[in-house]
Amino acid sequence: MRTILNSVCNRRFGPLPCRTAPPTAPPPDTLAALRERLAAAPNGVLEAVAAETGVSLLAVTECLPDGLRAFAPGETAEAAMLDMAEWGTVTVLVHSADLVLECKGPLPRGQFGRGFYNLAGGSPIGGHIRLDRCRTVGFVRRPFMGSADSASVVFFNGDGEAMFKVFVGRDDARQLLPDQVERFEALKARLCGAPGQTA
C-alpha cells in the first residue's frame, strides 16, 4: 500500500507545473444554485457535484451550509498534519478521476526535505507530499451517503482541488471515534477561528 501511495503522490505532486493564475470564480447564479442544492442534500460525493457543475471541489465545499465546513489558510497545513499524527488510526484518501485510494493507519509525523513533506515509517501510510502547494485546509463534517456522520480534513491546492483528505476513524459499529471527534473540533477551532470562516 505504501508503494502505491508513494506512486500516486509522486505522480500528482512531482515535476508537473503548478498553475500560477488563480482559478476562475464561478458565476454567482451557479454558486447560489449549489448552496440551495447542498442545503437540501449535503451527503453526496462532492467531487461528482464539482464535475457536474464545472467548478472546483473547493468552490463546492464552500457552498455547504456554514455549520458543515470551515477553512484555514494553507500555511497551517503542517500544524494540521502534526496534530493529526497524535490521533491514532485514521483513513487517508486520495480521490482523482481515475481512482479513490484509501489507506488506514496512524498518520506518521513528517518533516520537510527536498521540497516534500516526508512521512516517517512505522505505518501503512507513507509518502512524500508537496505540502507547500496547499492553499487551503478545509474541515468538513457532514452526513455522507450511508453514514450518519463523517469528518475530514481536506488539503486543497491552488486549483481548488483536493490533494488528499484525512478522515476521522470509526469503531467496529462504524461510528466516529469520540476522542478523534474532539481532536478534530479542537483543531478546527484553533486553525479556523470563527465557525464557517473562509481562508
- DSSP string covering 127-150, please? -EE-GGGEEEEEEEEEEETTEEEE
pLDDT digits (tens, 9 = 90+) for 26-72: 777 889 999 999 999 999 899 999 999 999 999 999 999 999 999 99
**Where do we find the cell 470563527?**
194
pLDDT of 1 = 44
Q: Beta 100-106 vs 110-113: how paired, if at all?
A: unpaired
85 contacts 109 by C-beta, under 8 angstroms: yes
Statement: residue 187 has pLDDT above 60 = yes
Total-model pTM: 0.84
The tally of CA atoms less than 13 A away on the side-chain side of residue 65 is 13
